Amino acid sequence: MAGLLDSVDMRTQLAGRNRMELLLFRLGTKQQFGINVFKVQEVIQCPPLTKIPHSHEVVRGVANMRGRTISVMDLARAIGMPGVENVSESFIIITEYNRTTQGYLVSSVDRIINTNWDSIMAPPKATGRGSYLTAVTKVDDELVEIIDVEQIMAEINGTIVEVDDALMKDALPKTDLVKRIMVADDSVVARNQVKRTLEQIGYEVVLAKSGKDALDQMKEMAELGPIHDQIAMVISDIEMPEMDGYTLTTEVRKDPDLQNLYIMLHTSLSGVFNNAMVEKVGANKFIPKFNADELATGVMEAISEIEGKQG
């Protein structure tokens, strides 16, 4: 396993080209699962775990790793499967997203594969683990299920989606701009978090399940009239099936009917990397997931910026 992720930093060139890399792993069965490499810090053999009394049933314990204490979650249990039995022979995928570091216990790790986002599809509705899947793809004719880790973290830790009362006083829109915002995200949990936040500050929300879905909806809107009369801005995730947020931004900037839309990228991926990509693909702003007050403030600032340009 040593060296498996040594060259992750070199893979950033894939972003913006509608490409991604998946780390493939298994949870004690033949079924393969995947997670975006950009979420992964490292993969290690599971060290001894210290159990925490009264912790969530998914949390198998904490591990001390290079001076850090990291919670380790049994990914199989989290999605309704039997938990890992032999912990000492298992592996931990250490991830960083949504501003936190956590470890996911898995039975084995296979390899990293390079693929196109357009080959990543929404999970079939009949899938038994459907509520925990954000997408599926095929590798060597074998189905790979991509787990919605945001759903898992929301269930374990909970997420505050209420905007602070003090902020609310200034948040309600006093602008003449249309009070509708498009939100593109493949995670049901993430879409609902953003939707709830925007509704609190006075905006209607148009939902899209992927970058392609968002682009198709916007093109249909543009056929009916100026896009700015229908939505004020777009808030998009980056990791999405069929078309990622970077590619969505690039496509919007190429379309004469859409190119002046304000685009905010809202993602759980590393902020340092995304700040550079925002400029590269032509997005207006990047906000890391998920903090309701920060998102509300970011939207208010965006609306002020849009008004300034139109004024």
The better pLDDT of the pair 5, 78 is held by 78
Q: Is 2 contained in some domain?
A: no
pLDDT digits (tens, 9 = 90+) for 273-289: 556 667 777 899 988 88
Provide the whole-model pTM.
0.72
The pLDDT value given to residue 164: 65
180 and 149 co-located in one domain: no
184 and 291 co-located in one domain: yes
Q: Which CATH number characterizes residue 50's domain?
A: 2.40.50.180
* Pick from 82-86, 167-171, 175-179, 209-213: least confident: 167-171
pLDDT digits (tens, 9 = 90+) for 71-93: 999 999 999 899 888 888 999 99
Q: Which CATH number characterizes residue 240's domain?
A: 3.40.50.2300
Average pLDDT over residues 214-223: 96
Residue 4 — very low, low, confident or very high, per pLDDT cuts 50/70/90? very low
Q: Compute the mean pLDDT over every residue in the chain, rounded to the nearest whole number.
A: 83
The pLDDT value given to residue 3: 44
What's the chain's Rg over C-alpha atoms?
20
* 6 CB-side CA count, 13 A: 4
Place of tokens 């006093």: 174
Q: Are 34 and 137 spatial neighbours (Cβ–Cβ below 8 Å)?
A: yes
Looking at the structure of the chain, the number of domains it has is 2
Q: Is 1 contained in some domain?
A: no
The pLDDT value given to residue 259: 94
Q: Are 133 and 146 spatial neighbours (Cβ–Cβ below 8 Å)?
A: yes
E runs forming strands in the chain: 19-26, 32-36, 40-45, 59-65, 68-74, 91-97, 100-106, 108-116, 133-139, 142-147, 180-184, 204-208, 233-236, 262-267, 285-288
The better pLDDT of the pair 13, 243 is held by 243
Q: Which of 23, 70, 303 is nearest to 171 (CA)?
A: 303
Rounding to the nearest 10 degrees, give the CA dihedral for residues 36, 33, 99, 131: 120
Average pLDDT over residues 164-187: 74
